[in-house]
């Protein structure tokens, strides 16, 4: 008897409990024009009324909200599911159980509405409808009809047809670090954001654990970096190497065996950073045998176009070659008249370069072919020391 | 007192003592540059702008007379209507490169050539023409018959005589030298004849197709009046070497003499010659003290030999990097008058600049 009374009592209060549970659901409602500055209060009012009524009929309290869309040069377009999802991830649901959004676009007499039902807790789209209505006298009916098309999705949510289950096998968070501040990170072919505070948390995108994605990082003044990374856990931290600054300029200090009583300076401008460059060098030397007799000065100046070969800019050892034109002016102290002019061609100047911290050390044989024109000393020949080898130059280079 | 300049120079000089720091691609005589003159306008006046122009640079010297620097300028000598039409001129300069005069040939069918030398009458023998030391004409004029051309001449004080030695006309290489000896103001031929370089039996067969290219080229000659010794310097192109041999003037001009009578066969082994050095066809200048060679490898070498007695190198050769091109002309002045300065002269055909350098050897 007591059991039956208890059962009757439970059956009596069940609807109340169920109703109370339904009443606990709240929805954040967002109505958003897709075209910036094209908000239509009438459309928004009708949509809000229709959606609000439908939600309340389903036992869901409505908390209106505002969602701003970014503006850009693109023509207004309907958001695809991914974009809608991306937008909705950023909304402040203020504790609501569900986000209901209506994106609308007025194009002439046509009203296009994208309804979306989104679970902010698990960042999942629960449903959506793309409808087309007519604007004008039938606007109210058209919007009502559109809302009706969205109603089944709401009903499915209320009935529990949707099971909130945390996704499995999906990467939840991707964090990128390493590159300098302000570096742009591109995952797949989409800009994911910029490094700030040393890190970038990639906006949520569904990637399966185990998938491999290409990552590219770029920043003005730096060499971009590309690589592929495997997303092997729900929480992925991608540590990228720091970007290397692009070399725009070099300054050299050099000394040549073969012109020992001298020193050279040089400068280069990189047309293509760390690859193709224009350079100017000047070497001033004294004829060593002339120090105690008649002083002989040599002024060696050349201009060159060069390129790095074989080894990439990331290598600490690199090679570059150059072609160019130069002239050595030889002045004999106390001798009136003309100075000697030895014009020459830079025929390669293969240079080995070793990066040692902030500076680079380089070494090269001076492959210069004297042209034997004008009033010259050397004639038409390769410029070389008495040992038959060309002058050998070592130097240091600072790049920036 | 140590000056600031010397204090600064001292470490540099010490550093310069290290061979690694003394090597240079530039000619080692540059710091000896002394006088430089631009002969461009004079050359243009001679050539009238015609090209190509060939040059020769010579120094003539003998004891008791002022040395002369001679620059031969030869524009093209062929004329479409006249045929051979020689326009070459000889610029006479003193040792300080002051231009004394410019000589031409008596006719356009005459031409200048070696030998260039002071002659026994105090004039200058230029090929087969006798000119004054300033390039003026002389009463001797042209010698007929001409002496051996392309060779060398020197004065033998006893007489005095002018000796002329050269390889036979038109021969690239030869096994004989022709000579002529002159004396008297009228340039009377005292004697003329041939000096065999090696015995006839030692020479290659005349049927050898390369016979005309074999043999020896006379590159230089010097005479030591104290010993009456003539030093002959030959090039042997087929062997790529320089050879030197010595014989007294009296012995060389008998008409039947053989410079190397003991040579077994051609080519003569280097050991059989009094002196040999392997070098390929240098520009060469011989004097009583030795030879200068402007080599094709860029070295300029000074070999010296013992002043008297057997022909032998004295010490080690002194080498210096010169122009790495044989397009320049060099001449050396080793004055036979004691106490005068020694110089090297260099003429650059491209710039037409003539430069005198102090001795680097």
Residue in A closest to B325 by C-alpha: A379
| Whole-number pLDDT of residue B245 | 93
For B6, residues 6+ apart whose C-beta sits below 8 A from its C-beta are: none
Query: CA–CA separation, A113 vs A64, rounded Å?
Result: 18
| Whole-number pLDDT of residue A338 | 76
Query: CA–CA separation, B319 vs B6, rounded Å?
Result: 29
Query: CA–CA separation, A307 vs A290, rounded Å?
Result: 37
| B19 pLDDT higher than 90 | no
Query: CA–CA separation, B350 vs B74, rounded Å?
Result: 14
Give buried/exposed letters for A6-18 (b at 16+ CB in 10 A, else e): eeeeeeeeeeeee
Instruction: Give me the residue from B31, B319, B351 closest to A289, CB to CB.
Output: B31
| Chain A residues 276-335 with CB within 8 Å of chain B | 286-296, 298, 330, 332, 335
Residue B6 near chain A (CB below 8 Å): no
| Chain B residues 332-351 with CB within 8 Å of chain A | 348, 350-351
| A82 pLDDT higher than 80 | no
| A330 pLDDT higher than 50 | yes
Interface test with A, best of B7, B9, B18, B31 (most A CBs within 10 A): B31
Question: Looking at A36-45, A189-198, A291-300, B30-39, which range is the least confident one?
Answer: A36-45
Q: Is residue B304 a contact partner of residue B314, using CB atoms and an 8 Å limit? A: yes
Give buried/exposed letters for A152-185 (b at 16+ CB in 10 A, else e): ebbeebbeeebeeeeeeeebeebebebbeeebbb
Closest by CA position to A176, among listed A112, A236, A124, A233:
A236
Segment B277-286 mean pLDDT? 89
Q: Considering only residues B63 and A68, tell me which one the structure prediction assigns the higher pLDDT.
A: B63
Query: CA–CA separation, A397 vs A285, rounded Å?
Result: 20
Contact assignment for A372 to B350 by CB distance below 8 Å: yes
* Distance in Å, alpha carbon of B13 to nearest chain A alpha carbon: 7
Counting residues of chain B whose pLDDT is more than 90, the rounded percentage is 60
Q: How far apart are the first and last CA of chain A?
A: 93
Counting residues of chain A whose pLDDT is more than 90, the rounded percentage is 36
What size, in residues, is chain A? 400
For A335, residues 6+ apart whose C-beta sits below 8 A from its C-beta are: A294, B33, B34, B36
Q: Is residue B172 a contact partner of residue B213, using CB atoms and an 8 Å limit? A: yes
| Whole-number pLDDT of residue A15 | 43
Q: Which tokens is B124 given?
A: 């200058």
Instruction: Give me the residue from A259, A335, A381 closest to B24, CB to CB.
Output: A259
Contact assignment for B16 to A291 by CB distance below 8 Å: yes
Residue B40 near chain A (CB below 8 Å): no
Mean model confidence pLDDT for chain A: 82
Instruction: Give me the residue from B13, B24, B33 closest to A291, CB to CB.
Output: B13
Closest by CA position to A349, among listed A279, A291, A265:
A279
Query: CA–CA separation, A266 vs B310, rounded Å?
Result: 58
Q: Please report residues of B whose CB lies closer than 8 A to that of A372.
A: 325, 327, 350
ipTM greater than 0.90: no
* Distance in Å, alpha carbon of B292 to nearest chain A alpha carbon: 18
* Rama region for B80: left / alpha / beta (φ>0; ψ in -120 to 50; rest): alpha
Residue in A closest to B35 by C-alpha: A335
Instruction: Supply the DSSP symbol for B115.
Output: -
Interface test with A, best of B7, B24, B40 (most A CBs within 10 A): B24
Residue in B closest to A385 by C-alpha: B25
Q: Considering only residues A89 and B253, tell me which one the structure prediction assigns the higher pLDDT.
A: B253
What band does A302 get if pLDDT is binned at 50, 70 and 90? very high
* Distance in Å, alpha carbon of B100 to nearest chain A alpha carbon: 21
The string of pLDDT tens digits covering residues A136-183 is 778 888 888 888 888 888 888 888 755 555 567 778 788 999 999 999
């Amino acid at each position: 008897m007591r059991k039956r009374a208890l059962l009757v009592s439970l059956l009596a209060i069940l609807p109340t409990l169920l109703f109370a549970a339904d009443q606990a659901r709240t929805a954040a409602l967002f109505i958003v024009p897709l075209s910036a500055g094209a908000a239509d209060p009438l459309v928004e009012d009708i949509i809000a009324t229709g959606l609000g009524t439908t939600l309340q009929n389903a036992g869901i309290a409505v908390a209106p909200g505002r969602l701003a869309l970014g503006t850009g040069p693109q023509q207004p377009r309907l958001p695809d599911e991914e974009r809608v999802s991306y937008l909705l991830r950023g909304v402040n649901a203020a504790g609501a159980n569900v986000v209901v959004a209506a994106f609308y676009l007025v194009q002439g007499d046509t009203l296009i509405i994208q309804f979306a039902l989104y679970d902010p807790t698990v960042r999942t789209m629960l449903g959506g409808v793309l409808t087309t209505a007519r604007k004008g006298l039938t606007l109210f009916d058209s919007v009502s009809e559109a809302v009706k098309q969205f109603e089944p999705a709401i009903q499915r949510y209320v009935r529990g047809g949707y099971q909130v289950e945390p996704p499995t096998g999906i990467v939840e968070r991707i964090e990128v670090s390493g590159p300098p501040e302000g570096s742009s990170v591109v995952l797949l072919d989409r800009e994911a954001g910029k490094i700030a505070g040393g890190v970038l948390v990639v906006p949520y995108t569904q990637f399966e654990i185990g998938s491999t994605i290409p990552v590219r990082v770029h920043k003005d003044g730096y060499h971009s970096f590309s690589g592929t990374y495997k997303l092997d856990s729900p929480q992925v931290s991608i540590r990228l190497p720091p970007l290397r600054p692009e070399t725009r300029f070099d300054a050299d200090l050099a000394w040549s065996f073969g012109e020992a009583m001298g020193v050279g300076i040089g400068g280069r401008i990189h047309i293509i950073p760390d690859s193709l460059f224009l350079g100017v060098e000047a070497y001033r030397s004294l004829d060593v045998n002339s120090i105690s007799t008649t002083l002989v000065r040599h002024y060696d100046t050349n201009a060159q176009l060069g390129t790095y070969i074989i080894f990439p800019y990331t290598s600490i050892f690199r090679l570059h070659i150059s072609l160019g034109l130069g002239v050595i002016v030889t002045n004999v102290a106390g001798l009136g008249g003309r100075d000697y002019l030895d014009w020459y061609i830079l025929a390669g100047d293969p240079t080995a370069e070793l990066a040692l911290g902030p500076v680079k050390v380089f070494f090269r044989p001076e492959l210069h072919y004297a042209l034997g024109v004008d009033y010259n000393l050397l004639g038409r020949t390769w410029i070389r020391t008495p040992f038959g080898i060309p002058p050998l130059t070592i130097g240091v280079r600072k790049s920036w | 007192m140590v000056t600031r300049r010397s204090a600064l120079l001292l470490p540099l000089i010490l550093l310069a003592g290290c061979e690694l720091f003394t090597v240079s691609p530039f000619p080692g005589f540059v710091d000896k540059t002394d006088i430089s003159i631009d002969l461009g306008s004079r050359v243009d006046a001679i050539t009238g702008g015609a090209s190509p122009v060939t040059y020769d640079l010579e120094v003539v010297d003998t004891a008791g007379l002022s040395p002369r620097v001679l620059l031969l300028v030869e524009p093209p000598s062929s004329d479409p209507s006249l045929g051979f039409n020689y326009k070459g001129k000889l610029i006479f300069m003193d040792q300080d490169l002051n231009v004394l005069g410019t000589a031409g040939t008596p006719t356009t069918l005459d031409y200048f050539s070696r030998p260039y030398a002071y002659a026994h009458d105090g004039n200058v023998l230029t090929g087969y023409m006798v000119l004054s030391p300033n390039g003026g004409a002389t009463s001797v004029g042209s010698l007929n018959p001409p002496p051996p051309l392309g060779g060398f001449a020197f004065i033998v004080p006893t007489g005095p005589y002018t000796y002329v030695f050269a390889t036979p006309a038109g021969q690239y290489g030869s096994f004989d030298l022709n000579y002529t000896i002159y004396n008297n103001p009228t340039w009377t031929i005292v004697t003329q004849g041939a000096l065999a370089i090696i015995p006839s039996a030692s020479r290659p067969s005349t049927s050898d197709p390369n016979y005309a290219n074999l043999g020896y080229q006379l590159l230089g000659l010097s005479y030591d009046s104290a010993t009456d010794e003539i030093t002959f310097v030959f090039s042997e192109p087929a062997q790529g070497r320089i050879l030197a041999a010595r014989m007294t003037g009296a012995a060389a001009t008998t008409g039947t003499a053989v410079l190397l009578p003991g040579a077994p066969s051609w080519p003569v082994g280097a050991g059989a010659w009094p002196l040999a050095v392997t070098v390929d066809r240098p520009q060469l200048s011989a004097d009583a003290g030795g030879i200068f060679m402007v080599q094709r490898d860029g070295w300029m070498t000074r070999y010296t030999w013992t002043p008297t007695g057997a022909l032998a190198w004295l010490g080690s050769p002194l080498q210096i990097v010169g122009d790495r091109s044989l397009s320049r002309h060099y001449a050396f002045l080793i004055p036979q008058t004691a106490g005068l300065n020694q110089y090297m002269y260099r003429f650059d055909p491209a710039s037409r600049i003539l430069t005198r350098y102090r001795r680097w050897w």
